[in-house]
Chain A
Amino acid sequence: MKSKTPLITLLTGAALGVILLIASTLTTSKAPASGSGGGPGTASTAPAASGGATAAPTNPGSTTAAPTIPGCTQATASATSLSSVRHSPVGLGGRPFAVRVTPDRKFSFVTLGNSLAVLSNRAGQAPGVVHTLKVPGANKGEAITGDGKYLLLATGGGAKVLSVPEAERGNAVVLGTLDSPGGRGAVQVTTSPDDQFAFVTLQGSGGVAVFNLRQALAGGFASGFVGLVPTGKQPVGIAVSADRAHRWLYVTGWGPPGTISVVSMHLAETDPQKALLTRRPRAAGCQPSRVMTSADGSVVWVTAQGSNALLAFSAARLRTDPAHALTALVPVGQNPIGETFINGSKRIVVANSDSSPPSLMVIDTQKALCRPGKAALVGSIPTGRGPRELDPGDGTTLLATSLGSGQLEAVSISDLPAASGGTLPPGQCGNSG
């Protein structure tokens, strides 16, 4: 009996390996959550679109037709004006592009072109400008590390790294610059959940630059560039999957053709050249701009600027069945770019960057998935010209940059009509936000 124990050990290990392999296969092949599908969808139609933008019912598994990837269109949707919603403009000057609120919610930073506005937040009120710092190249996206210590400003072939506490005190202390060899056209920047890595979309270089932020900080920025994830033409938007494991990075390619790419976070950090999971670009409408994911990571929301639409993709199907990944299409205003969740993810706000009159559009998240089309539109909020990027702030005041009018708009979220979360059977269309 004793002589058989080595064989038993070997077979036990082999069995464990097979079980783990099967479990891994199941993990990667099934949807991470049922959030993007399940319930019966009802047909609806998008505005007549020159590029064939037809919206339709949305739920995978429903008996009705799935929505098709929209083309480019001039058609826009309109919604009830939510004129009762209080919104206060804060004059900043310059060309406000991105806005980010610090993790402690006390300050907001807005990129203005070659300067950075530092604003002090006040609960329920518009933030006030406390400093305007001269920072050459601060004209694109930004990110603040989770520990609130560092502000990353996308610029050139990477990002400038500033000290947040110093910026709050009015000092523009640039700790260093993350730079990629030959990289250009930085648009958006984000960090890994542990703040170890930074990812920058390089619109001019066809990829996402990966930087070891901690290593760069520790080594005086002498090193830190890990590599470039070759995502394809004109990458602009980027988001880390909000699921617990933060396994994925989603990147929109402005195109043409407009695409969305799925990147393995783990491979991006270790072997960027091989981190692209979507070997062929996945179509994502006309000029997809910004991307964000639901809290459980199951739904990926994309603003398709040239399609005048908000698109919802099943995260799992983007990897496994991309032809059927689009689960919902909501027609919105002209040239939607910025997007964010509010009201505990029950609502999505989209910045219609070229609408007339300029507006933010509010969308009911659950309706967008269950009854897509105009039915999901809650209303529109007037704003300054050229609304661009959004930050949900402290949950009571939404912040929106207005690039054309040099303003930051502070919108009172509590003035919005009550969310209609209970009108649909719970769970029928899943957890969308």
Chain B
Amino acid sequence: MTAQPGTSAPLPPGRAASGAAKFVVPSLIGALVALTLGVYGHLHHPTGIAISIAGFSSPGSVKSWLATAAIVFALVQVGSALVMYGKVPRIAAPSWIGGLHRWSGRIAFLLAVPVAVHCLYALGFQDYSSRVLIHSLLGCAFFGAFTIKMLILPKRDLPGWMLPTVGALVFTALTGVWLSSAYWFFSTFGIKR
């Protein structure tokens, strides 16, 4: 989630195929990451516990709050991206917007990692309800999409639409993950357990 505007300018027609080709390897790696996480979560017998974080009433509470924090930083990412790309009328991109965009993405990602570890280690890839199956699939997809985005970020000759599209996919996956877990958790058990 560290988009850098200006690095994805429109390409001459002759270079589009080459740019698309450069998207294939990151995509394959991202797919492999998502698949690996899903297979691990499916094969690993859930332990019910993982390393815990003090100060919360339950693992569900920890994960819900971490995921919520991640989604807040992800919203900052989206907002700052829109400003950087000039999509917000009457707001000029300040000099610090790039840093805000990069760091909000990094923080969102790092907040999501402990949640994913707990999910995969303690609970595994589950499919006992539609919500849980969607959550499991989107969780794996998020890390796969994020990997793709990180790998294509440094590439200079990609089509201009590619980075925003992948970024949107990452954000959509994270939002789906949050809706199917933290939102469900808070609406079922309440904010304060």
Contacts and interface: CB of A to CB of B under 8 A. Distances in A.
Given A9-B106, A13-B113, A196-B193, A24 B51 contact: yes
B31 interface: no
B47 A13 contact: no
Contacts of A7: 150-151, 154
Interface string A273-312: 1110100000000000000000000000000000000000
Contacts of A270: 60, 123
B150 A10 contact: yes
A194 B193 CA distance: 7
Contacts of B48: 247-248, 264-267, 275, 277
B169 interface: no
B120 to A, nearest CB: 8
Interface in A1-24: 2-7, 9-10, 12-13, 16-17, 20-21, 23-24
A17 B51 contact: no
A84 interface: no
Nearest to B3: A6
A427 B52 CA distance: 26
B58 interface: yes
Given A9-B106, A266-B122, A274 B49 contact: no
B116 A17 contact: yes
B117 interface: yes
B96 interface: no
B2 A6 contact: yes
A274 B110 CA distance: 29
B19 interface: no
A20 B126 contact: no
Given A214-B189, A271-B126, A28 B47 contact: yes
Contacts of A10: 146-147, 150-151
A7 B29 CA distance: 13
Nearest to B59: A266
B46 interface: yes
Say what secondary structure dominates the interface of chain A: helix
Contacts of B164: none
A265 B122 CA distance: 12
A13 B2 contact: no
Contact of A20 (B58, B117, B146, B189): B117
Nearest to A195: B193
A27 interface: yes
A6 B117 contact: no
A13 B109 contact: yes
B153 interface: yes
Contacts of B58: 194, 266
A245 interface: yes
A230 to B, nearest CB: 14
A267 B153 contact: no
A104 B188 CA distance: 29
B178 interface: no
A277 B147 CA distance: 33
Contacts of B126: 271, 274
A247 B154 CA distance: 44
Contact of B117 (A4, A21, A194, A277): A21
B57 interface: yes
Nearest to A247: B49
Interface in B41-79: 46-52, 57-60
A194 B57 contact: yes
A17 B33 CA distance: 13
Nearest to A218: B190
Contacts of A196: 189, 193
A266 B49 contact: yes
A320 to B, nearest CB: 10
Contact of A274 (B46, B50, B149, B153): B46
A24 B117 contact: yes
A9 B150 contact: yes
A266 B60 contact: yes
B22 interface: no
A248 to B, nearest CB: 8
Interface in B107-121: 109-110, 113-114, 116-118, 121
Interface centre among B58, B59, B147 (most CB of A within 10 A): B58
Contact of A24 (B4, B122, B154, B189): B122
Interface string B86-122: 0000000000000000100110011001101110011
B119 to A, nearest CB: 11
A386 to B, nearest CB: 38
10 contacts: A3-B153, A12-B106, A13-B109, A16-B113, A17-B116, A24-B47, A28-B47, A264-B48, A270-B123, A271-B126
Interface of A: 2-7, 9-10, 12-13, 16-17, 20-21, 23-25, 27-28, 194, 196, 214-215, 245, 247-248, 264-267, 269-271, 273-275, 277
Interface of B: 2, 4, 46-52, 57-60, 102, 105-106, 109-110, 113-114, 116-118, 121-123, 126, 128, 132, 146-147, 149-151, 153-154, 188-190, 193
Given A10-B147, A267-B48, 13 more contacts: A3-B153, A6-B150, A6-B153, A20-B114, A27-B52, A194-B58, A264-B46, A264-B47, A266-B122, A271-B126, A271-B132, A274-B46, A277-B48
Q: Which 8 A-B pairs have the closest CB atoms?
A: A264-B48, A3-B154, A24-B50, A6-B150, A6-B153, A20-B117, A23-B51, A10-B150
